[in-house]
Chain A
Amino acid sequence: MHELSIALAVVETVEEVAREHGAASVEAVQLRVGQLAGVVPDALRFSLEVAAQGTPLAAAELVIEEVPARALCEGCRTEFAVGTPPRLGCPRCPDAATTVVAGRELEIAAVRLPPAAACPALAASTLGSEGGP
């Protein structure tokens, strides 16, 4: 299933972020999934539960923000809702070029990590010990 590959990519990236910040666990992950991203949020949620097992994300809260698609007409410069099923042409100017301004997101918006004090690596460095490896 597609969403599982996406979930694995999310876990990989968030693990890296946690490592960079010296955190052993992750408290929350906020994702943004656009209507036109080709990803089903419920399937992604399920896949992430599976993919997170045994990783620092295992207990992380998952927030998925769904973003409706919007496009901008380059003719009349009006923004319009793309709707479902999607209609990417301008409702007023049939031949004008348009640009999607929202709804293609498939991104990790933010990651919440536990307090720095809970993290030995960071605590050690702020205490000015001999330094890392």
Chain B
Amino acid sequence: MCRNVDLRQAVLAKNHALADTLRTELAARGVRVVNLLSSPGSGKTELLTLVLRRVRERGVPVAAITADLATENDARRLAASGAPVKQVLTGGLCHLEAEQVRGHLDGWLPDGTRLLFVENVGNLVCPASYDLGETLRIALMSVTEGEDKPVKYPTAFGSAHLVALTKTDLAQAAGFDAAAFTAHLGQVNPGVEVVRTSARTGQGVDTLVKRVLAVCEGAPPHRPVLDARHHAVHPAVPS
């Protein structure tokens, strides 16, 4: 007779548990994590550099981790803000996992840090499935990527607490259709706020910083329908 083990266990249960631990540990040290997701080249590094600078000007101790398949270029660019920056080379892995974030914080994250930004690998597919212990998840999309991107990548845009529309300085040249974008985004994440930003003109950077700091100070973030976690508990399937 064969033995059936009824498991019903989330495949990413280990990552979820570790992310919870990380969130709790960091909260105890007064640190909140912000996870930035976008496709390659949407402008994460460029925007984050401005945000880090602005947060520092406000006297809030901030640090950043940036993940890439290869090269330390993004860390160099972010470090221009003056914030402590750590480059994670994923060695081919297309997303960050909670374990890597935790490993890189050990002995590096300066005491007193209040805010830790994580620039995920440029990829809208799998980073969306991995909770990194963040309190705030921001999905970015540039005006040149196509207004229907949110429905093509529902897990990433649907799980975001906040959306940053980037490179708005190019909106006109790209013929960006704001109404279509809003409609597509609303399909997967009803009620989410969009901050329109440009790293060239500085548009939206202050608003973004305000939103992030508010959540750090305990304001509840928007509740996306698709929160970052899979709901692992299901009623037993009758057999």
Q: Check if A and B associate.
A: yes
Q: Which residues of A contact B (CB under 8 A)?
A: 1-2, 5-6, 9-10, 13, 17, 21, 23, 27, 31, 34, 36-39, 71, 85-89, 95, 97-100, 104-116
With A6-B11, A36-B154, A85-B148 known, 8 other A-B pairs at CB within 8 A are A6-B12, A36-B226, A38-B125, A86-B151, A105-B234, A111-B5, A112-B3, A113-B2
Pick from B49-57, B67-75, B187-195 the stretch touching chain A. B187-195
For B186, the closest partner residue in chain A by CB is: A89
Q: How far is the CA of A110 from the CA of B191 in the complex (A)?
A: 37
Closest-CB distance, B23 to chain A (whole angstroms): 20
Please tell me which one of the listed residues A23, A99, A107 contacts residue B230 in the complex, with CB atoms under 8 A apart.
A107
Q: How far is the CA of A113 from the CA of B3 in the complex (A)?
A: 5
A5 and B93 contact, CB distance less than 8 A: yes
CB of B158 within 8 A of chain A?
yes
In the bound complex, residues from chain B placing their C-beta under 8 Å from that of A23 are 3
A17 and B5 contact, CB distance less than 8 A: yes
Beyond A88-B158, A115-B2, whether A108 also contacts B225 by CB under 8 A is no
In the bound complex, residues from chain A placing their C-beta under 8 Å from that of B12 are 6, 9, 106
Closest-CB distance, A99 to chain B (whole angstroms): 7
B152 and A37 contact, CB distance less than 8 A: no
Q: Give me the 7 closest cross-chain CB pairs, A-B, nearest first.
A: A2-B126, A85-B151, A38-B155, A89-B190, A111-B5, A113-B3, A88-B225
